[in-house]
Amino acid sequence: EVADATASEPEDASASEDEDASASEEEDGKWFMAEISVPTSAWQLDFVTTTEEADGCGAYDNNGMQDYHLRVEHGMDEAYWEALIQEKTAEATAAREVREAEEAAKQRARAVKRAAQREAAMEAVRFSQSHVWYSEPAVPSAGNAVKIFYNPRNTCLNGNDAVYVRGGWNRWTHGASWGPVKMERVTTEDDDSHYLVAEITAPPEAWCADFVFSDGPEEHASYDNNGGLDFHLPLQGASATQPPMHIMHVAVEMAPIAKVGGLGDVVTSISRAIIDAGHQVEVVLPKYDCINYDAVRDLREEGGFQFGGTYVRIFRGEVVGVPTYFLAPDSGIFNVGCVYGRNDDAGRFGFFCNAALDFMLATGRHPDIVHCHDWSSAPVASMLNNYHETYLGKTRAVFTIHNLNYGADLIGQAMAACSMATTVSPTYANEISGHPAIAPNHGKFHGIRNGIDPDIWSPEDDMWLPVHYDETNIVEGKAANKLALQQRLNMAQDPDRPLVGIVTRLTHQKGIHLIEHAIHKVLERGGQVVLLGSAPDPRVQGGFEAMRHGVEQTPHGRMVLTYDEPLSHLIYAGADFICVPSMFEPCGLTQMIAMRFGSVPIVRKTGGLNDTVFDVTHDEERCTWYGYETNGFSFDGTDNEALDYALNRALDAYYDGREWLQDLQRRCLMQDFTWNRPAVEYLELYYQASKQ
């Protein structure tokens, strides 16, 4: 219990409060005195001093944030104190156990949900490929027969009179192979089936069946090998255990400790997803002096090695569950207060790439895959060729392009040297496949969309939302958060007006001319609009500042021209729609975050926006092909009229079909745009790269 000069009168002691400020003029300054009454149950007096009589803006002396403490002499005997200590200890222990039990229950629930999401992702993958092939049963067992169905009409073998299937087991590592087996046509009542079928029996130790299709039994026949990835069918109940892969990411960014852009998010998120799938993943990162070390657990030094004329110290820690190694050369080239932005970036990162490979040698690591990212760690793919005489000779490089605007020469070299290459969405891969750095090696280039982390973006327990919700109470939850957003920004609190949110960087890539038009159009049609974003270009920032004065004359428009993480979460939860009219968007996270919170996206059809948003009017067939449902409004052009086509349909849905729109919002929330499905696709690339 705390007794201080402002405490209320205790029941068991008379209170007297005398705040005479008597001062003794001494050489070391003035002394002030106050007399207070101490309750009989107090065992310690805790206090600070202030220049204000009540809480306010006065100056405080809190003893360097430790406060002042004075032991209170007590007449109770030792037994009393022992009992009190035991009582307080028991209370603290019970409270801690309750917190731990609640956290454990939360983690178990999350684990169950993640497992269900992974299984749903696998089911979606099976469904999306069923127009080409499927199996009966869908998840066969080792030691049993399985039928493989194949539709050549949707493949490079279309028009052939005969099709054969051949394969092996356990990602081609099993000693036995099978086939070629001639496939028979599936007979149906109307005899219009285009599927062929063959039956094989898996050995008891097989945990995966691997196969390709061909137009003849000869080795020189024409093949359908799934674009170089082959076809793979997981088997359950095998007597042998699938060995985990060992993946090492070499990167210069990692969220949340050294994040500059989306690259840092991807490195962390894909690492966590592959770990969840049962594989070993580690990250190698420069040890910057600007790292957020509060987010690194158990950081410790683990030796070092000589490289490049300096001693490189090795530190190990854990970042959101991912084992992470930090390389710190004594030369201090990473102690410069930033990740990028210096004239020597290329030299510093080139040193790091080579040092990362030497780190693997020095510590006895021989991963299956080294995964490098963008120009900054692209040299790893080329440098790996210099290590073929070591035990890194079997390690293969996978390279991911996040941003093609920098380091095209290094990217081109990595494309030539790596075994497999990716970028952050299928549509963006098609859009840039003709680039000179990519075109010569486009056969190994694949688009895999990014995902979002459901632990960070979750309306069920988001720390910045006043009201939590899920698919069962989404209508009430979004209404409550919409009201909270209107109140926070001093907007008209009108639930019958559609609210459009825009959360973005204000750059030309993001379509700033369309953003300006969208704001005016929404207000013109009686809606509300909230913009959250800032511009790196002062001229663009100034233009939006000028625009804000006019927009905020009405209680229905607000423009917050800065970065505000808590507000962004509230906008995602409180908005009915989120508008993303980008000129180009390699992947984009905004639209996926919006759907996670049940806000319907309005997007331009480019890059990852096209791969994640399926128009409610035009994309029924396309979304079924990919195993999704319609979930938003999209447009093709770059002018105001093109945007109006999508925006007007969205606003009409709010005004004329509120129940239909609420069902659409629920559908958005329930769709899985986490890393579950991309992790499956990355694993396929890892396996294929290691096979090479």
Please tell me whether the peptide bond between 180 and the residue prior to it is cis, using omega within 30 degrees of 0. yes
The answer to whether position 56 is within a domain reads no
Residues 316 and 396 in one domain: yes
Long-range contacts of 149-155 (CB under 8 A, 24+ apart): 149/186, 149/195, 149/196, 149/197, 150/183, 150/195, 150/196, 150/197, 150/198, 150/213, 151/194, 151/195, 151/196, 152/194, 152/196, 152/213, 152/224, 153/194, 155/213, 155/224
Question: 520 and 532: one domain?
Answer: yes
Q: Based on the domain organization, do 641 and 682 belong to the same domain?
A: no
Quick check: is 119 in a domain?
A: no
CATH code, domain with 608: 3.40.50.2000
Q: Confirm whether 115 is domain-assigned.
A: no
210 and 263 in a single domain? The answer is: no
**Collapsed DSSP state (helix, strand, coil) of residue 457:** coil
Domain boundaries, position 194: 130-234
CATH number at residue 143: 2.60.40.10
- In this model, does residue 446 exceed pLDDT 80? yes
Unique residue bearing structure tokens 């009393």: 80
Encode pLDDT of 92-101 as tens digits: 999 999 999 9
Q: Which pLDDT score, from 0 to 100, does residue 76 have?
A: 66
501 with 393, same domain: the answer is no
What one-letter code names the amino acid at 678? Answer: P
Residue 1 has pLDDT above 70, yes or no: no
User: For the chain, what is the mean pLDDT?
Assistant: 92
Place of tokens 């100056």: 59
The one-character DSSP state at 204 is: T
224 with 254, same domain: the answer is: no
Task: Note whether 437 and 507 are same-domain residues.
Answer: no
Please give the average per-residue pLDDT across 32-60, as a whole number: 81
Same domain for 334 and 411? yes
Which pTM was predicted?
0.83
The length of the chain is 692
Kindly state whether residue 105 falls inside one of the protein's structural domains: no
Classify residue 38: in a domain, yes or no: no
* CA separation, residue 641 to residues 325, 512, 647, 648 (Å): 51, 15, 10, 10
**Per-residue confidence (pLDDT) for residue 302, from 0 to 100:** 96
What confidence score (pLDDT) does residue 146 get? Answer: 98
Rounded to whole angstroms, the Cα distance separating 549 from 531 reads 13
pLDDT at residue number 28 = 66
User: How far, CA to CA in Å, does 44 sit from each of 16, 60, 68, 216, 479?
Assistant: 19, 21, 10, 89, 48
Distance, CA of 679 to CA of 448 (rounded, Å): 9
Q: Tell which of 189, 209, 234 closes a domain.
A: 234
Last residue of a domain, one of 200, 234, 268: 234
Answer for the pair 633, 576: CB distance below 8 angstroms, yes or no.
no
Q: What is the pLDDT of residues 140-157, one digit of tens each?
A: 999 999 999 999 998 999
Contact 321, 268 (CB under 8 A): no
Full 3-state SS string of 314-370 = EEEEEECCEEEEEEEECCCCCCCCCCCCCCCHHHHHHHHHHHHHHHHHHCCCCCCEE
Please report whether residue 502 resides in a domain: yes
Which stretches of 393-511 are DSSP H helices?
408-417, 426-432, 474-488
| HEC profile of 140-180 | CECCCEEEEEECHHHCCCCCCCCCEEEEEECCCCCCCEEEE
Tell me, yes or no, whether 631 and 548 share the same domain: yes
Per-residue pLDDT at 13 exceeds 60: no
**Quick one: 593 and 533 in the same domain?**
yes
Q: What percent of the chain has pLDDT over 90?
A: 78
- Specify if 191 maps to a domain: yes
d(CA 470, CA 658): 19
Same domain, 629 and 573: yes
- Per-residue model confidence (pLDDT) at position 6: 41
Question: Is pLDDT of 16 > 50?
Answer: no
Do residues 503 and 651 both lie within one domain? yes
Q: Is residue 279 part of a domain?
A: yes
Give the end of a domain, one of 188, 211, 234.
Answer: 234
Domain count, the chain: 3
Digit-coded pLDDT (tens) for 523-555: 999 999 999 999 999 999 999 999 999 999 999
pLDDT digits (tens, 9 = 90+) for 180-198: 999 999 987 665 678 999 9
